[in-house]
Structures are given as C-alpha cells and as structure tokens.
Amino acid sequence: MLKPFIRLLSFFAKEINEIRRQPRLLLSLVLGPFLILLIFGLGFSGEQPKLQTILVVPPGRENDPRIKLFQERIQQANFNVVGVDTDEQKAVEAMRASSGAIDVVEVLPEDIDQLLGRQQASTIKVLYNEIDPTQEQWIQYLSYVQVKELNSALLLSALSGSREQAGSMQQFISITRQEVQQIQSGLSAAQNPETRRAVQRLRTNSGLILAGLALASQGSANQQAQSDLQAIQRSLDALDQAMESGQVDEQRRRLDEINDNLERVEQVAEQIKTVPPEVLVSPLQGSPQNITEQRPNFIAYYAPGVLALLLQHMAVTLASLSLVRENLLGSTELFRVAPVGSMQILLGKSIGFILSIGLIMMLLVGLMIANFPIGNTGYTFGLAVPFVGNPLWFALSVLLVTVASLGLGFLISAISRSESQAVQLSMISLLAAVFFSGFFLPLQNFQAFAQWLAFLLPVTHGVRAFQDTMLRGQLPTDETFLWLGGIALVCFLLAWQIWRGNLKRR
C-alpha cells in the first residue's frame, strides 16, 4: 500500500540530489536576481528625459530679450538648449551628425514679436530624428507641455501690462467722457486733434480687451463685460471713421453708444486691478494627492515583479529539462518496464522542485525585505522592500505560481526532443513573460487578443498577486487563484497525456 508513495518520494529525492549537486546554480539563482535588482534600483532615475535642443531663431535676433525669455521657458519644459542658430538646415544637419547627442531642433516663428492679436496662430516647429517610439512619445508630450507654458507666459505678460494700465485707465476714461461731451455739445470739437488722439488711444488699447476676454471666461457673471467691451470697440472704430469722413449723424449715434458703455468699462478696469494676472491666465490649478499608504521607490515597486518573473523562469527551466534529460539518459527505458506510472513521475519531480524553489524564494524575499544598518557607514544590508500583507497568502500565491509554472515546464519538456529545443522554448516563454506579463509594459496598453495571451502566463497573475500582498496589503483576487489553478490543471493534464504516450511508444 505504501509502494506508490515510496516510488513518488524516490523521484522527489532524485531531483533534490540533482539540484544539490549544482551549488553554482543555487548561488546564481539566489544572488543573481538580488544583484540585478540592486543595480537597477541604484542606476534607474525614472525622470522625464532632458531633451538636448538646438534653438533656431530669426536672423539677427540671437540676443533679443524676448528670445532669452523664450529660452528660459523652454528650459523649464525639459528642453536643454545647447546651441542657438539662425539656419534651420544647418541645425538639422548638426542633429543628424550628433549620433543621438542632439535630440530636437526647435524653430521659432519669424513673427515672434507679433504673436498677440493675430487671426492665425504661429507655429513652433519641433524637428527630431528618433527611431525609439517611446522617446518619440516623450518628445511629442513635452512639446505640447512647452507650447502650453509659452502661451501662458505670453498671456501673463500681456495681462500684467493691462493690469498696470488699469489704474490710469479710469482717469483716461473720465477725460474721454468729457471730450465726448464736448463733441456732443459742439460738433466742431470733432476736429480737435487731441480728442481724435484720445479716441484712437482708447480704441487701440488691446490690453484692456484681452483682460476683458479673460474675465469673461471666468464665469457667466462676466459675460456682459465681454459684450460691453466688444460693443465699445466697434463704436470706437465707427466713431473714428465718422470723424475722418465728417458724418455728423453717425458721430452722434456712436457717441451716445460710447457714453452708455463707458461706465461699464470703468467697472471692468477696477476688476482687472483686483484679480491677479496668474489667476486670469490659469483659473484652475491641479493638486494631485496619492492616498496610498505605501510610497515605494523603484526597487520596491519592481521587486514583486522580479520575484514572479524569476519564479516562473526557474520552474519552467527546471521542469522543461527534467523529462528531456530522462530521455537522453535512457531512464525512460527503465520507467517503461518498472512498476511506476507517469503521474507518479510528474508528481515526484514536482514535489522536489517545489521544495527547492520554495527555499530559494525564502532567501530572496529575506534579502529583499532586510534593512539592517552596516555600522556607521550609512548603508544597509538588504533592499528594504516593504512587506505589509499576510505572509500566508503570499506563500499560497508563491505555491500556485510555482505549480502552474511547473505544469508549463513539463508540457514543454513532454513535446521537446532535445535539451536545446527545451531551452529554446523556455527562453520563448521568458520573452513572452517579459513583454506580456505587465512587468515591463501595462496590460492596458495591449489589444484584447494580446491580453488573453498574457492571462495564459503564470507570471502575469504572480506579478499582480505579489504586488497586492507585499505593497498594498491586500489579498490576491479570486480571479488570480482561478487562473493559476486552471493553468496548472490544464498544463499538467496535457503533459501527463503526452508523457504517458511517449512511455508507451518506447
């Protein structure tokens, strides 16, 4: 009655001895991932790229203060200006010849001093020579942010000027009203040069118009102010033309309209004085807040993913080579005539692998969560990765990922005819794990069919389960356990059927 268990334990002991005879393998499995994760955490900054930029400006404008202001704003948007030129073609050739040292060439418009008041927006060209799609997306995003910053700076400058003018604007409006009354009392005053110049000054005050438009965008209460300003502008234009052509009736009508709206203009000017220009330009400001209890650094965030990736790779590699090695050593000939079943062989090997991998995982987790100071050096032993969840649920997740990965490895071993073929298939599974597991790229970035491929990999569910347990302190979801259990069951059944058929044919 105990013979089946004895046979199963014999395969368990065989695999344990095989692993024990390879101390270098154990050392590389424990220290290798630890050192790689340490170097990654110390060397990866995770910051937005700083784009090395050549700025192309209009000829003769290299030392223009406005260009200097633009350059300062560009620096704030992660564009590091390393050179200023006036020849676009020359700058592009320099970028091509730099072998990646120059990221972009930015060309400012010729009419840079006449940007406001135009009916069409000017264009800032950003030229780049990039084959990396990720870097290309960064360049496009930072270019968008840069244009937003420059537009805000231009509006802020214009509104600051209009705010400074608002104090004297009330006195100017009062004088203008008196002049309008003089025009109404005697049309001969319409030919007064001072009156004509006063009307023209009020007509061309674009700062007041721009400020009124900004105020109107703040809410429905200021929409009337915008309408009044537009009406005054139209009346001033028509009044100026009527003065030039000598149309008396038209002058009177326009003067009445201006008189009716001058009082509202005074109210707008007063409002401009009380509202800061920064608020006019940017009425909204963001306040992002991370409400998570844990704020892991890069090492801590990627550590669970590295564990899951390493766990699947270890299990797949060990299992995929085990059955192939039995074929090469001729052991399958003995198995065929021995009183041992194919399921006993798979289960015995699995238990041995689970114990070995479990010990390695304990050592790795211990090294990752350790945080012991080394004397007074300021350094610590370990990676100080937080572990806020339940260790028992974490152990269960490790067990399920291990079993599912072993099932995948046995399936690879059952269909392989040589060690090189098994190694090749194991490496393919590793590449699939790196690209589709969510460790390197978020799963949301993939199409539906690619996400289904990711769900068939044990590491995909391992990454999610390990992060939930270690970093969030949450239990793995039922969906995670169901996927891992299903992968393990299907892979073991397929591997068992194929291996049993191979034993019978031999």
Q: What share of the chain is helix, strand, coil (3-state, %, to 5)?
A: 70, 5, 25
CA separation (Å) from 355 to 123, 141, 213, 487? Answer: 65, 49, 73, 20
Residue among 186, 150, 153, 499 nearest 340 (CA): 499
Q: Report the distance separating Cα 501 and Cα 175, nearest Å.
A: 105
Q: What tokens were used for 416? A: 């392989």
Q: What was the pLDDT predicted at 376?
A: 75
CA atoms within 13 A on the CB side of 54: 24
Could you give phi then psi for residue 297, rounded to 5 degrees? -80, -175
Q: What was the pLDDT predicted at 190?
A: 46
Q: Report the distance separating Cα 19 and Cα 24, nearest Å.
A: 10
Q: Report the distance separating Cα 461 and Cα 400, nearest Å.
A: 10
Could you give phi then psi for residue 397, rounded to 5 degrees? -65, -40
CA separation (Å) from 313 to 119, 274, 326, 398, 428? Answer: 61, 66, 20, 13, 11
Inter-residue contact 300 to 383 (CB < 8 Å): yes
Q: Report the distance separating Cα 347 and Cα 17, nearest Å.
A: 16
Render 136-156 in DSSP notation, one character per residue: HHHHHHHHHHHHHHHHHHHHH
Instruction: Tell me the three state secondary structure of residue 80.
Output: strand
Q: What tokens were used for 51? A: 């784009």
User: What is the CB neighbour count within 10 angstroms for residue 448?
Assistant: 6
CA separation (Å) from 114 to 110, 117, 177? Answer: 9, 8, 31
Inter-residue contact 187 to 251 (CB < 8 Å): yes
CA separation (Å) from 332 to 12, 148, 215, 326, 345? Answer: 17, 70, 86, 6, 11
Q: Report the distance separating Cα 433 and Cα 139, nearest Å.
A: 29
Residue among 133, 395, 165 nearest 268 (CA): 165
Pairing between β-strand 104-107 and β-strand 125-128 as defined by DSSP bridges: antiparallel
> How confident is the prediction along the chain (506 residues), in pLDDT tens digits per residue?
556 666 656 656 666 666 666 666 566 666 666 666 566 656 655 567 788 888 888 887 777 777 777 777 777 778 888 888 888 889 988 888 887 788 888 888 876 655 555 556 777 888 888 877 778 888 888 888 888 777 777 666 665 655 555 445 555 566 666 666 665 655 554 455 655 665 666 566 544 454 454 444 444 445 555 666 667 667 767 766 766 666 656 666 766 776 676 666 666 666 656 666 666 556 655 666 666 777 787 778 888 988 999 899 889 988 888 888 877 776 666 666 666 677 777 888 888 889 888 988 998 888 888 888 777 776 777 778 889 989 999 999 999 999 999 999 999 988 888 888 888 888 888 888 888 888 777 887 788 888 898 999 999 999 999 999 998 888 999 999 999 999 999 999 999 888 888 777 65
Domain ranges across the chain: 51-157, 161-281, 297-505
Q: CATH: 3.30.70, 3.30.420, 3.10.50, 1.20.120. Which one for 161-281?
A: 1.20.120
Q: Which residues pair with 53 in a beta bridge?
A: 81, 104
Burial of 244 (0-12, 13-18, 19+ CB in 10 A): exposed
51-157 is classed CATH 3.30.390.10: no
